[in-house]
Amino acid sequence: MRKNTLPYLLLPLSFMAVVGAACQQKAEEEKTIASTHPKLEEHLQRDSVRTPITSDENPELYQRYRLRMEAYQSDEAFRVQEAYKGRLAPLDESSHADASQYRSALQEGLKQGINFAGRYTVVTVGCGTTCQEHYVVDRQDGKVLDKLQSSTGAQFSPDSRIFIVNPPDSSHNYVECPYCEPAAYVLEQGKFRKLPQGQ
């Protein structure tokens, strides 16, 4: 009696056919989506990424902001002559609409002591992505006087009444991020007054 060897011959042949088809499919999968979509490939080949502004790439804009803010910070007219040395008052929650909402953050921030304009504590509270609110608390009476909002932080000091939102930074792209533009304020009689942009 003779055995049928045909299935044994077909088995290796079918295996080779499956392997060959799998290799062909893998080669097709290795193509990128861009290579299968000509318009997308053309778009990706163009340099569409804008790098952030730096002092080397766009010195005029960054330097203008930097020089203006430095001039305000060094102006003796905004210098604080005497620092408050008395007892630091606790937070007066009735002094501002946001005080009770941010009570914990404000009380924690007040532990820093005086950090602005000789008698105030600035407490920064996050209000979202690229958003900070800066509350100014008078340490003589604990009242929240005013607040400013920034996108990239703030700069202030204990011996000056100047408060800068979004301090100049050479890594910011001011064209792409108009809300990142630096601005200077001066604290006068418990309120902030925005200083002129040009100088």
pTM for this structure? Answer: 0.68
Q: Are 134 and 112 in contact (CB under 8 A)?
A: no
Domain boundaries, the chain: 59-194
Q: Look at residue 21 in the predicted model and tell me its pLDDT.
A: 64
What is the arithmetic mean of pLDDT over 67-93?
93
Q: Look at residue 175 in the predicted model and tell me its pLDDT.
A: 79
What is the arithmetic mean of pLDDT over 179-191?
94
- Residue range 13-70, pLDDT digits in tens: 676 776 666 656 554 555 555 555 666 566 555 544 444 444 445 567 788 888 889 9
**Which has the closest alpha carbon to 146: 167, 116, 178?**
116
53-57, 74-78, 129-133, 164-168, range with the lowest pLDDT: 53-57
The larger pLDDT score, comparing residue 183 to residue 57, is at: 183
**Which has the closest alpha carbon to 142: 102, 98, 87?**
87
Q: Token pair of 20, please?
A: 């060959």
- Residue range 97-144, pLDDT digits in tens: 999 999 999 999 999 999 999 999 999 999 998 999 999 999 999 999
Residues in CB range of 19: below 8 A, 6 or more apart:
none
Q: Look at residue 54 in the predicted model and tell me its pLDDT.
A: 47
